[in-house]
Amino acid sequence: MKRIRSRAGKALHPMVAPALLAAAALVQAAQPADPQAVFDRYVQAVHAADMPAVRALIAPDVERSDYVGCTPEMDNPACLAFYIEQTVVRPRARIRVISVDTRASELHARVEVRSELYRRAGAERIVGVDVLRIADGQIHAFRFIPDFNDEATASFFASIGIRPQPGSAQP
């Protein structure tokens, strides 16, 4: 029976690898998969600046983010992770969940987000709705809809060249 080697070059017993995979599967299975629990883990990961945890929540077949910083070379999960990293993780944003509405696998969370990124642009905080489609414990779609009716939010987004589109949905 062939032995598997660890990174340190030590031989592992052939039954160790399947046991490690099974343990990892159990940990994943132990995590609640309902949309609210997944969203809560997302907020916790953002607050902890834990990008590996954020990436683990993103499904391989996630819808493409329309974030302008994404490049054609990025696959969809990398694009969404980059968006989250640039807009809330690196600026050490604090997300306050105002309300949550869940319909089957779609979650709408009205949030208030505060960070130095927004303060530097003259906005104490921004307000909007995180819209996520969640299945099997992972995020399959994610978008933020700014509340352009909120003066601070509208001001911040105007400062970066984003204005409401005619006919666009408002939270």
Domain ranges across the chain: 31-159
Digit-coded pLDDT (tens) for 51-92: 999 999 999 999 999 999 999 999 999 999 999 999 999 999
Structure tokens at 160: 């970066």
31-159: CATH architecture: Roll (3.10)
Q: How confident is the model at residue 45 (pLDDT cuts 50, 70, 90)?
A: very high
Q: In percent, how much of the chain has pLDDT > 70?
A: 79
- Closest to 40 (Cα-Cα) out of 134, 159, 128: 134
Q: State the DSSP H helix or E strand holding residue 117, giving kind and residue range, or none if neither.
A: helix 116-120
Q: What is the pTM of this model?
A: 0.78
Paired sense of beta strands 138-146 and 106-114, if any? unpaired
Are 58 and 74 spatial neighbours (Cβ–Cβ below 8 Å)?
A: no
